[in-house]
Structure 1
Amino acid sequence: MFMDSEYYDEQFQKIRFSNEELDSVRFYDCTFTDCDFGETFFRDCKFSGCRFANCNLNQIKVVDCQFSQASFTECKCVGINWTEAIWPKMVMPGALVFEECTLNHSTFIGLALPQCILRKCMARNVDFREADLAKAIFSSTDFSESLFGETNLTGADFSHAANYRIDPNGNRISGATFMLPEAISLLYCMDIQLKEE
C-alpha cells in the first residue's frame, strides 16, 4: 500500500489499512478521507500538516511517531495513547486539532499541547493529567469521566463544554472560560453545600 518512504500533498481516499503495520513513513501536507486505519501500528511515522476526515483511527498505536499541525474532523480516535508519540522539546502551539471527533478512552498524560483544539468532540474517560493545555479550545465537548489533575488549563475555553470535573485547587485554571450552569461543577470538590432557593 504505502511503498514510498515520503509523501507530499497526496490525497488518500477510502484506504482500508486496518490491523496493519507501517514503519518510518513521512507524510507532509497529505489528506486522508474516509480511510480505515483501525488498530494499525504506526511506528516512527511523521504526519506534518496532514488532515484526516471521517477516518477510523480507533486503537491505533503511534509509537515514536511525530505529529505537527495535524487536524482530525469527524474521526473515530478511541483508545489512542498519544504519549507513545515523540513530541518536540520546543513546544509548537496547535499541534493537534480535533473537530467533531470521538476520543474516548485516550491518554494525553503529561503532554505539552498548548492551543490544541477539541471542538464538538466526545472525550469521555480521557486522561489529561499533568498536561499543558494552556489556551486550548474545548468548546462543546463532552468530558464525562475524564481526568484532570495538575493540568495547565490557563486561558482554556470550555464554552458549552459538558460533564467536566475539574478541581480548581489541583489544576491551573486562571483566565479559563466556563459557562453556567456547567461551571457549578467547579465547586463540587470544595467541601461546601450548595442550596437552591
Structure 2
Amino acid sequence: METLKDGELYFDRLFTKLKLPEANYERIEFEDCCFSECDFSQSKFHYCQFINCEFNGCNLSLIDLSSTRLFGVSFEASKLVGVDWTKAHWPIYHRDFELTFSDCNLSDSSFFALVLNELSLKTCQLHDVDFREGHFKNSVMSDCDFRGSLFIQTNLEHADLSGSTNYAINVFENRVKGAKFSRFEALSLLEYLGVELVD
C-alpha cells in the first residue's frame, strides 16, 4: 500500500483509497493533488502545505493540522468532525484562502477567532461548531445546518446564509450588515429583539 514520506514534495498526484489513520507526518508539501476516498482520521500533518488540492469522499475527522498551511483547498462529501482549524497556519498577507467545503460534515470543529473571509460552506452539517470572534465577511454558508453552533462577536457582513437552518445569531452581538438569510429562518433573528410574533 502506498504511503507518504516526511519532507517530500508531491505535485499533481492522485491518491486513491489511502488508509492511513493515526499516522504522523511532518514538512510534506502537496500541490495540485487530489485525494479520493482516503482515510486520514486522527492523523497529524505538522508543518505541511496543501496548495490547490482536492479531497473527495475522505475521512479527515480529528486530523491535526498544527502549523500546516492551506490555500485553494476544496473538500467535497468528506467527514471533518472535530477539527481544530485554529491550529493551522494562516498567514496574514492572504485576504482569501479560497477554502471550499461542499456536502461535508464539520461538526464539533473550531474556527474560533480566525479570519477566513470568503469562506465557502455549501450543504454542510455544522453542529456545535465554534465561530466565535471569527471574521467571515462575504462568505457563502448556504443550505447548511448550524444546530448548536456558536456565533458571538462574529463578523458575518455580506455573508450568504440563504437556505441554512438552526442558527442562533444575536444581532446585537454579531455583525450581520448586508448578510442574506432565508425569510422563514430569519424569524429566529427576531427572538433577540424581544418581539412577539403572532399569526
TM bin, normalised by shorter chain, reads over 0.9
Deviation at 1:94, TM superposition (A): 4.5
Q: % of aligned pairs identical?
A: 36
Q: Give 2:4's aligned amino acid.
A: F
Letter in 1 for 2:49: K
CA distance in 2, matches of 1:94, 1:192: 39
TM-score normalised by the chain length of structure 2: 0.96
- Residue of structure 1 equivalent to 2:163: 160
Are 2:43 and 1:40 equivalent residues in the alignment? yes
2:4 equivalent to 1:2: yes
Query: In the alignment, which residue of structure 2 is the partner of 1:118?
Result: 121
AA paired with 1:89?
I
Q: What is the distance in 2 between the residues matched to 1:135 and 1:89?
A: 17
Task: Point out where structure 2 has 5 or more consecutive residues left out of the alignment.
Answer: none
Partner residue, 1:181: 184
Q: Runs of 4+ in structure 1 displaced over 6 angstroms?
A: none
Find 1:129's aligned residue among 128, 132, 138. Answer: 132
Q: For structure 1, which runs of at least 5 residues remain unmatched after alignment? A: none
Counterpart amino acid of 1:77? L
One-letter code aligned to 1:18: P
Structure 1 position 194, deviation (Å): 2.1
**Letter of the structure 2 residue corresponding to residue 178 of structure 1:** F
Q: Secondary structure at the match of 2:141?
A: coil
User: Displacement of 1:125 after TM fit?
Assistant: 0.4
Aligned to 1:148: 151
Residues 70, 97 of structure 2: 8 Å contact kept: no
Name 2:32's counterpart in structure 1.
Answer: 29
1:68 matched to 2:71? The reply is yes
Distance 2:122 2:171 in 1: 22
Could you tell me how far apart the structure 1 residues matched to 2:97 and 2:68 are?
17
Deviation of 1:183 after TM superposition, in Å, equals: 0.3
Q: Specify the alignment match of 1:99 in structure 2.
A: 102
- 1:91–1:112: 8 Å Cα contact kept in structure 2? no
List per-residue Cα deviations over 1:38-69 (Å, max 9, x = no partner): 11011111101010000000111111111001
Shift of 1:180: 1.6
